[in-house]
Amino acid sequence: MAIKGKQIHMKKGATIDSLEITGISSEGKGVGRVNGQVVFVKETVPGDIVKAKVVGKKKKFLEAYAEEIITKSDERIVPFCEHFGLCGGCKWQHMHYDSQLKYKQKHVEENLQKLSGLELPQTNAILGSSETTFYRNKLEFTFSNFRWLTKEEIASGEEYVRTGLGFHIPKQFNKIINVEKCYLQADPSNEIRLKVKSFADAHDIPFFDVKKQEGFLRNLVIRTSTTGDLMVILQVYYRDQELIDLMLNHLKKEFPQITSLMYVVNEKGNDSFSDQEVLLFAGKDHIMEQMGDLKFKIGPKSFYQTNSVQAHELYKVAADFAGLKGDELVYDLYTGTGTIANFVARSAKKVIGIEYVEEAIADAKVNSELNGIANTYFYAGDMKDLLGNEFINKHGKPDVIITDPPRAGMHPRVTQLLAEIKSDRIVYVSCNPATQARDLEVLGQVYDVVKIQPVDMFPQTQHIESVVLLELKSEFKDKN
Ligand SMILES: C[S@@+](CC[C@H](N)C(=O)[O-])C[C@H]1O[C@@H](n2cnc3c(N)ncnc32)[C@H](O)[C@@H]1O
């Protein structure tokens, strides 16, 4: 398709009359080219032809939005959520799920190929999620006394309620959209959020003002579980026990299915409550998750994979790649609450989990106990400091390493150590193929990449999980 824009150097505010979207970026935006320049256009799909307005100019690319979609791509569908475009939650819901999977697969293949510089096997077909909506087990909603208004609301000239309970607009910490219906978490999540908001409005309970740092209601966390357990945590700014009791008694009465009702009084500047005391109002202080024949106890601060069903599929891939026979020493790096460690423990001689969040390590131990698993050992510490020759001399050289680092990938010191350890196999689980590729480049000197499996944990988003199996090169096996 010919590009009609004539300028060689497009400026902010310029219009590109006709731009064909030919690809999609790792951030999830459509990608086109004008006069050799890359243009990222949000909410577009490969195959779209759009009239685009340039809103940002960087050294190597332009940022734009579609003023008009001239020709719609066959991959485009009508977004199901009224908050699409404003809310950062489900950025790809304007694309068929099959297309989402196709681009995720491509993203893993291209990143690993281009960035690792290694010879790679063919990537396995991506494992799609059985649920493409209502798949999350945890959501966090923020209260605001000054919610974001849509253009339509402003234009209508009607009176509107200014309080809101919902999500942040991406990259704008003080802008909250009031969510009417969220497609990410199953009922009664929406019902609870709506009732909490209407009750607070009706009783004039002050919503938080993040700029002025005043108001009472800060945020609401809802955690659902495959066992039917349901946790609700209300976070407030100051201790007013009467108001806390009023809100929570209302919730307790309206939602008898809540098994764990909790609250936090957080006087800090931000909403994070990992360093705050979470108080029990009614029910149990945890919920239970079930994965296969394993049970996991989840406290209000515990991490658990947010798509429980697909997490099971991911762990099955990791366990399959680990190929355990029963006599191996396994290291599970970045173990979190020890879910992978416990998942593979019955197939190994011994599993050692390492993680820097101490509470998560405490949960990991409880989870082993709960499942009668006695061959797991968990240690808290920063990976780059704790995992070294001294640790390996003390605990033994692992036969198999499973590593599941955060988006930033592994610290170079850790990657280097894994190359030096020369275990038989490494299973590398990653939520960021770019950093995974970077680490594979180093590991590739000693290991061959033999399997690659993309797994979709987050439908309607650009996020993708990729599992890679590395095997020690034959020339090192002999010397080992
Ligand atoms: C992607 S999560 C994996 C969790 C776990 N494998 C699971 O499936 O639930 C990454 C984990 O690495 C931990 N982590 C991040 N940086 C770390 C570091 N420098 N040292 C140790 N653990 C770290 C995080 O706290 C988090 O639990």
Burial of residue 241 (CB within 10 Å: 0-12, 13-18, 19+) is: exposed
The ligand 1 atom at the shortest distance from the C-alpha of residue 383 is 20
Q: How far is the CA of 209 from the centre of ligand 1 (A)?
A: 32
Going from N- to C-terminal start, the domains of the chain cover 15-71, 99-131+307-479, 138-291
Q: How far is the CA of 356 from the centre of ligand 1 (A)?
A: 7
Comparing 15-71 with 138-291, is the CATH topology the same?
yes
Q: How far is the CA of 430 from the centre of ligand 1 (A)?
A: 11
Answer yes or no: is the C-beta of 340 below 6 A from any ligand 1 atom: yes
Q: For 109-123, 160-174, 293-307, 431-445, which range has the lowest pLDDT when averaged over its residues?
A: 160-174
Cβ pair 97, 91 in contact under 8 A: no
Q: 254-291 burial, b for 16+ CB within 10 Å, e for fewer?
A: ebeebbbbbbbbbeeeebebeebebeebebeebbbbeb
- What is 15-71's CATH topology? OB fold (Dihydrolipoamide Acetyltransferase, E2P) (2.40.50)
Q: In whole angstroms, what is the distance from residue 2 CA to residue 18 CA?
A: 8
Pocket mutation for ligand 1, best pick of 355, 391, 435, 436 (most atoms within 8 Å of C-beta): 355
Give pLDDT tens digits for 105-120: 999 999 999 888 888 9
What's the pLDDT at 153?
79
Given phi > 0 = left and psi -120 to 50 = alpha, else beta, which region is 28? left
Give pLDDT tens digits for 236-253: 999 999 999 999 999 999
- pLDDT band for 2, please (50, 70, 90 cuts): very low
Nearest-CA residue for ligand 1 atom 13 is 334
Task: Using alpha carbons, select from 35, 30, 29 the residue that is nearest to residue 14.
Answer: 35
Q: What is the mean pLDDT of residues 176-191?
A: 96
Q: In whole angstroms, what is the distance from residue 260 CA to residue 245 CA?
A: 15
CA separation (Å) from 252 to 281, 282, 283?
A: 9, 8, 10
7 pLDDT higher than 70? no
- What is 138-291's CATH topology? OB fold (Dihydrolipoamide Acetyltransferase, E2P) (2.40.50)
To the query of whether residue 431 is one of the catalytic residues in this protein, the response is: yes
- What is the token pair recorded at 216? 């009472």
Q: What is the mean pLDDT of residues 365-391?
A: 97
Q: What is the mean pLDDT of residues 359-384?
A: 96
Q: In whole angstroms, what is the distance from residue 271 CA to residue 236 CA?
A: 9
Cα radius of gyration rounded to whole Å, the chain: 25
What's the pLDDT at 3?
45
Q: Cβ of 114: how many Cβ atoms within 10 Å?
A: 10
The ligand 1 atom at the shortest distance from the C-alpha of residue 334 is 12
Q: What is the mean pLDDT of residues 9-30?
A: 89
Q: In whole angstroms, what is the distance from residue 297 CA to residue 368 CA?
A: 10
Q: In whole angstroms, what is the distance from residue 197 CA to residue 217 CA?
A: 10
Give pLDDT tens digits for 75-86: 999 999 999 988
Residues 6+ apart with CB under 8 A from 322: 330, 344, 347, 400, 402, 425, 427
Q: Is the overall model pTM greater than 0.85, yes or no? A: yes
Average pLDDT for the chain? 93
Nearest-CA residue for ligand 1 atom 16 is 406
- pLDDT band for 220, please (50, 70, 90 cuts): very high
Nearest-CA residue for ligand 1 atom 7 is 336
Residues 6+ apart with CB under 8 A from 132: 97, 459, 460
Q: In whole angstroms, what is the distance from residue 377 CA to residue 366 CA?
A: 11
Which CATH number among 2.60.40.10, 3.50.50.60, 3.40.50.150, 3.40.50.1370 corresponds to the domain 99-131+307-479? Answer: 3.40.50.150
Answer yes or no: is the C-beta of 404 below 6 A from any ligand 1 atom: yes
215 pLDDT higher than 80? yes
Identity of the residue numbered 191: E
Answer yes or no: is the C-beta of 382 below 6 A from any ligand 1 atom: yes
196 pLDDT higher than 80? yes
- pLDDT band for 4, please (50, 70, 90 cuts): very low
Give pLDDT tens digits for 406-427: 999 999 999 999 999 999 999 9
- What is the token pair recorded at 315? 């762990």
Q: For 3-12, 30-39, 53-62, 276-285, which range has the lowest pLDDT when averaged over its residues?
A: 3-12
SS3 readout for the chain: CCCCCCCCCCCCCCEEEEEECCEECCCCCEEEEECCEEEEEECCCCCCEEEEEEEEECCCEEEEEEEEEEECCCCECCCCCCCECCECCCCCCCECHHHHHHHHHHHHHHHHHHHHCCCCCCCCCCECCCCCCCCECEEEEEEECCCCCCHHHHHHCCCCCCCEEEEEECCEEEEEEECCCCCCECCCHHHHHHHHHHHHHHCCCCECECCCCECCEEEEEEEECCCCCEEEEEEECCCCHHHHHHHHHHHHHHCCCCCEEEEEECCCCCCCCCCCCEEEEEECCCEEEEECCEEEEECCCCCCCCCHHHHHHHHHHHHHHHCCCCCCEEEEECCCCCHHHHHHHCCCCEEEEEECCHHHHHHHHHHHHHCCCCCEEEEECCHHHHCCHHHHHHHCCCCEEEECCCCCCCCHHHHHHHHHHCCCEEEEEECCHHHHHHHHHHHCCCEEEEEEEEECCCCCCCCCEEEEEEEECHHHHHHC
- pLDDT band for 13, please (50, 70, 90 cuts): confident
Nearest-CA residue for ligand 1 atom 27 is 336
The ligand 1 atom at the shortest distance from the C-alpha of residue 407 is 1
What's the pLDDT at 478?
63
Answer yes or no: is the C-beta of 406 below 6 A from any ligand 1 atom: yes
34 pLDDT higher than 80? yes
- pLDDT band for 302, please (50, 70, 90 cuts): confident
- pLDDT band for 6, please (50, 70, 90 cuts): very low
